[in-house]
Amino acid sequence: VLLCPVRDCHMALVREVRRAFCPRGHSFDVARSGYLNLLQPQERRSRQPGDTTSAIAGRRQLHDSGVTQPLLHAIAEITAASPRDTVLDAGCGEGFYLGSLTRQTGCEAHGVDISIPAVDAAARRYPGCEWIVANADRFMPYADRSFSVVLSITARMNAGEFRRVLRDEGRLLVALPAPEDLVELRGAGRDRVARTVETFAHDFTLVEQRRVTTAANLDAAAVEGVLHSIYRPRRLERVEAMRVTFGLDLLLFRPTARMPN
């Protein structure tokens, strides 16, 4: 069930073909490509960093080239989704991981992201999923216990909201960039695992942890696509073909305790 995103409202939305509305009269449009836009006027005005179409195109080009397949495979394996699962991808971007996962497993899939062009691209390519544009930083527009699986793949995290929309027996997969992710382009990153486990400690217990890395020889255009996807299109004066490493730390959590009614 979708909830009205207006602060102090949060009533259930009734979905029609072209719009959704709550009993208080707040109304939201369904776009031509099929996603529901829950952004409110003040949120539409402020441009978000996730917005750039070149970053989205760069990321999609990378996924389409196949180099991220090992990452997808590891995410699918550790998540182990089945047709019985209802999956939310919080910060779904252009939808590659969720769209691929639902095609492979037949799970019911919901994706939410704040970027209109990203969700538009997701809805066009993966029409079998339910796509929402919303600012989910403070409030995820879904009823309590809506999902059996929540995914957060290199996205912003909200432990309390993840817990609220997850069923008591559900699971949460958090994917973080591993320290060696894109090391050739931006140097070694931080190891974020311990800090993240700590962030989730109040609501979740870590049950499995895995680091997946892969490397691929990219041509100059692909390297440029990666640089766009991390918002550093001008970092290199002359982009050359090179071998690039991709890595994720995958953390699988279970809710620690039942959520109070």
The residues of the shown chain that bind Zn ion, judged by CB under 5 A, are: 4, 6, 9, 22, 24, 26
Which one, 139 or 183, has the nearer CB to Zn ion? 139
Which one, 6 or 216, has the nearer CB to Zn ion? 6
DSSP codes of every residue in 160-207 = HHHHHHEEEEEEEEEEEE-TTTTHHHH------HHHHHHHHTTTEEEE
* Phi, psi dihedrals of residue 233, rounded to the nearest 5°: -65, -25
Which one, 21 or 54, has the nearer CB to Zn ion? 21
Closest contact distance (angstroms) between CB of 45 and Zn ion is 20
Looking only at the bridges linking them, the beta strands covering 242-255 and 166-177 are antiparallel
Closest contact distance (angstroms) between CB of 141 and Zn ion is 10
Q: Name the residue with the smallest CB distance to Zn ion.
A: 4
Closest contact distance (angstroms) between CB of 135 and Zn ion is 15
Which one, of 154, 151, 175, 178, lies nearest residue 162 by Cα?
151
Closest contact distance (angstroms) between CB of 26 and Zn ion is 3
CB 76 within 8 A of CB 97: no
Closest contact distance (angstroms) between CB of 40 and Zn ion is 10
* Phi, psi dihedrals of residue 118, rounded to the nearest 5°: -65, -50
Which one, 9 or 185, has the nearer CB to Zn ion? 9
**At 5, is the secondary structure helix, strand, or coil?**
coil
Which one, 10 or 254, has the nearer CB to Zn ion? 10
